[in-house]
Amino acid sequence: MVWFIQSLETSFPDRSHGFDGSTALELTGTDRVGLLSEVFAVLADLQCNVVDAKVWTHNGRIASLISVKDCNSGSPINDSQQIDRIESRLRNILRGDNDIRSAKTSVSLAITHTERRLHQMMFADRDYGRKPVLQCREDSPVVTVQNWAERGYSVVNVQCKDRAKLLFDVVCTLTDMQYVVFHATINTAEDKAYMEFYVRHTDGTPISSEAERQRVVQCLRAAVERRASDGVRLELCTSDRQGLLANVTRTFRENGLNVTRAEISTTNDIARNVFYVTDAIGNVADPKIIETVREKIGLGELKVKELPLIYHEREEAAVGVGGAVLSLGSLVRKNLYNLGLLIKSYS
């Protein structure tokens, strides 16, 4: 399948956002085993109910966007003294023993697109410039940048495993780096994706130096890798209750499991949480340990779905199988239109 894209604008005006009745906590720092457990334990101790959260880790760094409400009133937390206590406690945890300068916390009442914001947080934290925790793998993304002097473009090529939201991750990162995509070609074959973008700076100039070229390569590799996980996917579905996340993540920590990515949501007092876990050094967790953790938390509540990489996850089939045919042109236009609206809404 090949997609040809022309005049894909990636520089959009800012828009104000609404308010969903919760307080957003933004956290960045050095990742370590049990860190998420400590964060949720502090929030429970401070009477904060986590209603939604997303956590990414990459190159030894962690970024998290957590929406909380006051446990007693069910309202957003807007008392300045309570907010100061939350920030102070969480900052101390994120600092640990050796991260005094780079640990950051902030509180916001504004709604934002969490995945877009996580990219921005990790980009600001310069996760792309840090030494990879794991050795380079065969499926690592390949990024090249060349200039097309005659036309005044820089040509960016990205080759990697195909997966859901791949185009979103790459285009958002180019946008945040102040590049405009004028033309692009996206080709997917089996489980591989080949993307070519013709870009310029917002002032109309191409990439001008070797240092800038290297930075683009590093940033796009990071954009592709952040959503990946080598861990086992654990799905928790249970009645929400005070301290649930603190108890679950403490059980992970006590059994040597590290959470590499998490998606937390609560709807109608039902917690639906997804955790990707590895052992303490990033390898696939021992199945016996996974079963021990399930027994402690509840076999009926914590389920396992083995996924070697989130690269292999796909969106629900947008094109029918078994003979069903859709217009590729209309499908591409619809997807790109929706992508454009999403980036516009949260730039």
CATH number belonging to the domain at 23-111+229-311, selected among 3.30.70.260, 1.10.274.10, 2.70.70.10, 2.40.110.10? 3.30.70.260
**Distance of alpha carbon 250 from alpha carbon 257, whole angstroms:** 10
286: helix, coil or strand?
A: coil
Given the structure tokens 């994706």, which residue do they identify?
193
pLDDT digits (tens, 9 = 90+) for 143-167: 999 999 899 999 999 999 999 999 9
Residue 196 DSSP symbol: E
Task: Please indicate, yes or no, whether the overall pTM of this predicted structure exceeds 0.75.
Answer: yes
Q: Where are the domains of the chain?
A: 2-10+136-228+326-345, 23-111+229-311
Matching fold, domains 2-10+136-228+326-345 and 23-111+229-311: yes
pLDDT digits (tens, 9 = 90+) for 203-218: 999 999 999 999 999 9
Amino acid at 193: A
- The answer to whether the Cα torsion of 50, 75, 92, 246 is positive or negative is negative
Given the structure tokens 């956590």, which residue do they identify?
55
- Residue 260: predicted pLDDT: 94
Structure tokens at 190: 């089996």
CB 71 within 8 A of CB 246: no
On the CB side of 106, CA atoms within 13 Å amount to: 10
Question: Mean pLDDT of residues grouped by 10 in the chain (347 residues)?
Answer: 49 38 90 94 95 94 94 88 93 74 72 87 92 66 95 96 94 96 94 96 95 97 89 94 95 96 94 95 91 95 69 39 38 45 47
CATH number belonging to the domain at 2-10+136-228+326-345, selected among 3.30.70, 3.40.50, 3.30.2320, 3.30.2000? 3.30.70
**Distance of alpha carbon 257 from alpha carbon 234, whole angstroms:** 12
Cα radius of gyration (the chain): 21
Q: Which residues contact 150 (CB under 8 A, 6 or more apart)?
A: none
Burial of 58 (0-12, 13-18, 19+ CB in 10 A): buried
- Residue 202: predicted pLDDT: 94
Residue 299 DSSP symbol: T
Give me the DSSP letters along 40-55: HHHHHHTTEEEEEEEE
